[in-house]
Amino acid sequence: MLNAEYDKEYIFDVNDYLIKNYPTMTLNIRRAVCAVMYDYIDDEAIGDAVDAAVGDYAMAKMKVEKKVEDDEEDV
């Protein structure tokens, strides 16, 4: 049975992050950062993180491992 209660979205509260990590930043500066930050989001990096999670899940939960080639060369 499929569990429909799991989180399907990743939400990052930029304003909260800025408040916690830059406590002296004013509201006007936080708004300006929020307005331009979308230019810095890398969808490919997010996809890579999802792929890494899939890989970790496959190896840890399903006991699937990548075949490791022997690096020794015959002399």
Q: Distance between the two ends of the chain, CA-based, in angstroms?
A: 55
Query: Where residue 67 falls among pLDDT bands split at 50, 70, 90?
Result: confident
pLDDT digits (tens, 9 = 90+) for 17-46: 999 999 999 999 999 999 999 899 999 998
How far is Cα 55 from Cα 67, in angstroms, rounded to an integer?
13
pTM of the predicted protein model: 0.58
In the chain, the number of structural domains is: 1
Residue 73 lies in a domain: no
Does 69 map to a domain? Answer: no
Q: Is 74 within the bounds of a domain?
A: no
Q: Is 33 domain-assigned?
A: yes
72 inside domain:
no
Q: Which domain holds residue 50?
A: 14-61
